[in-house]
Amino acid sequence: MPRKTKSPNWFSIGLDAWALGAEAHTVIAMRMGTMAMGGPAAAREAERMFSEKVAANIALGMNLATGKLGSSPETILSGSIAHYSRRVSRNRRRLMK
């Protein structure tokens, strides 16, 4: 999803953010379907969702603190979108099985 450019521009960042939002919406809908059915699968999904969000936020914070995301607002934002996009894409693929 996110573009791999050396110097991201605000237009491409906006497109990447929009694409992330659309894909996240799909993942949310699939997770809601799983949880609406209840049972052990719903409990596992809720627990997984919570632990993934905590881990993703900690990892992003560490990347930001260590400078791995760059120093300009554009590279930081682009890197943050890419960080979450990878996780959302993995969840979409897993939930579609």
- Say what the pTM is: 0.86
Q: pLDDT per residue over 2-43, tens digit each? A: 555 567 899 999 999 999 999 999 999 999 999 999 999 999
Per cent of the chain over pLDDT 70 is 94
What per-residue confidence (pLDDT) applies to 4? 57
User: Using CA atoms, how far apart are residues 82 and 50, in angstroms rounded to an integer?
Assistant: 20
Q: What is the pLDDT of residue 24?
A: 97
Q: Which residues contact 74 (CB under 8 A, 6 or more apart)?
A: 7, 8, 9, 10, 13
What mean pLDDT is predicted for residues 32-61? 96
C-alpha angle with apex 4: 62 to 22, nearest 5 degrees?
80
Measure CA of the first residue to CA of the last residue in the chain; give whole Å: 20
* Mean pLDDT taken over the chain: 94
